[in-house]
Amino acid sequence: MVPPSSDARMRNRYTDRFLEPFRQQGDPLADAVLAGLGGRVRTGLLARVEVRARREGGVYREFLDACHAVPRWADFSAMEAGRRVGFKYAPAVGLALMAGSLVEGYALGNAAEVLVATGRLTQDVQRRLHETSDFVYKLALPGGIRPGQDGHRGVMKVRLLHAAIRAHLSHSPRWNREALGLPINQEDMAITLIQFGFEVRRGLMRLGIRLTEEEQDSQHLFWRYAGHVLGVDSALLTKTRQQEEQLYEAITRRQRRVTENSVLLTRAVLDGMSGLPPFYMPRATMYQLSRKLLGAELADELQIPRSLANRGAVKALTLATRTLKRTERTLPLVSTALYQLGRFYLLHAVPAGLEGTNPEYNARVERSAN
């Protein structure tokens, strides 16, 4: 546990004065790479950077070296328990992320404007969601987060994608930088990272899966390292779970603002997941599950319909996962079986969602945003 005095100091650190400058800060290294490529929205960004690094070195080589550098605190063996969480509880993790964390992110009014401006969720909902599933799946593979592996490369691609969108929207007359900050700024990147960490852990607990202390610490470290590769400023890469929760509370207090676009994005993502892989869940059940993950107050603000008929189904799901977790504690073989079943599930569900194609991680921006 963090001593009260230290805990209080960390709470004081995440003040408006501390966080506000990060709203005007992007990712200097990735932004420099995009400027070198002409600053235009492109496809195949990582491959282009690798070619330029071999030919020219410079900022392209600096970017690759920075992504492959492993901080002293990044203990891959300590990340293993957190990595396995992604497979052991694969369906629950997916639901906690998609119907909980990502939807909650749409209640952050400023950050939600990026998704509206790019059109990725209003025009291409299912594709983006399945790309997110593939991103998490490849990171959760054994060794997937290590430099050179597919998961690690996926993080690098997303980092360049963010820089491409940032370059495009920064020059769009529709983007109000004074009011919204820089597109995909450091504060927004930090809360996105927290959506995959703290918010997923909280979602699992609400679904009846209480992770062990080791699993929670490991999962936090796993996503802290992913954030490092993603270009999140080191001052926003929390060292402990307690700090992560404090940063979540600070950013939420500053940025929560439900808008019409928040409601639009929420409905788009929940409808986009309903009845399709990897969850195959009816729309009304998806709505009710999202309400459980978000809490009634926020769910009402986002205008997620109640479904009394499906409340029992969600309760049954929670009871089943809670029972499964208790059984795992007493029978170690259950943990191994869950891991293998989860891996099998993702191995088939993710490609089914992508319809056999590879994730593109391309920047697609509405013409009207120009």
pLDDT in tens, 21-43: 999 999 999 999 999 998 766 68
pTM of the complete model:
0.90
- Position 4 scores a pLDDT of 43
Contacts of 244 (CB under 8 A, 6+ apart): 194, 197, 198, 220, 238
3-state secondary structure of 37: coil
pLDDT tier at 232, thresholds 50, 70, 90: very high
Percentage of the residues of the chain whose pLDDT score is greater than 70? 90
pLDDT in tens, 66-83: 999 999 999 999 999 999
Cα–Cα–Cα angle for 335, 339, 340, rounded to 5 degrees: 120
d(CA 181, CA 134): 29
Rounded mean pLDDT of 230-255?
A: 97
In this predicted structure, the answer to whether residue 364 has a pLDDT above a threshold of 80 is: no
97: Cβ contacts below 8 Å, ≥ 6 apart: 132, 136, 195, 196, 199, 200, 203
Q: Residue 343 has what pLDDT?
A: 87
CA distance 301 to 107: 9
Residue 124 reports pLDDT greater than 70: no
pLDDT digits (tens, 9 = 90+) for 191-204: 999 999 999 999 99
Count Cα neighbours of 262 within 13 Å in the Cβ-side half-sphere. 21
- Say which residues have a Cβ less than 8 Å from residue 359's Cβ, sequence separation at least 6: 130, 131, 134, 135, 154
Among residues 127, 140, 134, 135, the alpha carbon closest in space to that of 89 is found at: 140
Better-predicted residue by pLDDT, 245 or 109? 245
Cα–Cα distance, 178 to 171 (Å, whole number): 13
